[in-house]
Amino acid sequence: MMKDFVKSFTFALAGIWYVFRTQRNMQVHFTAALLAVTVSLFLRLSPLEWGLVFFAIFMVILTECINTAIEAVVNLVSPEFHPLAKIAKDCAAGAVLLAAISSLVVAYLILWPKIIILFFSH
């Protein structure tokens, strides 16, 4: 039982690692996440603010993983162009875009005011 449990984590981590290695956008998302966490460390966020920042980061990473999975399945079942395959890929990419936009809104609402106070208040 425990062996299967550990195996499932190994497979999940392999999937995340695959997405990170093969998808340029995932690398961009991880870089942005690292920057957001680094900035947040200096801004002394409240626990709620940390929760919102981490939720935003994980939503982007999650949607990028799902997007990659959908693209792989679509490529498998429809190697040639098909309008429905395009719709599936475009919708999955759109989900990533929405998650990225929402993470920017979170950063703007939580981090930006603290940055302004830090650098522009006397």
Catalytically annotated residues: 64
Please check if 90 is assigned to a binding site: yes
Pull the structure tokens for residue 30: 């991880």
- Contact between 72 and 88 (Cβ < 8 Å): no
CA–CA separation, 43 and 71 (whole Å): 38
Please check if 86 is assigned to a binding site: no
- Contact between 61 and 36 (Cβ < 8 Å): no
Tell me the backbone φ, ψ of residue 108, rounded to 5 degrees. -65, -45
Please check if 122 is assigned to a binding site: no
CA–CA separation, 41 and 119 (whole Å): 16
Please check if 49 is assigned to a binding site: no
Please check if 80 is assigned to a binding site: yes
Please check if 89 is assigned to a binding site: yes
Residue positions forming the annotated binding site for substrate: 64
Residue positions forming the annotated binding site for ATP: 71, 80-82, 89-90
Residue positions forming the annotated binding site for a divalent metal cation: 71
Residue positions forming the annotated binding site: 64, 71, 80-82, 89-90
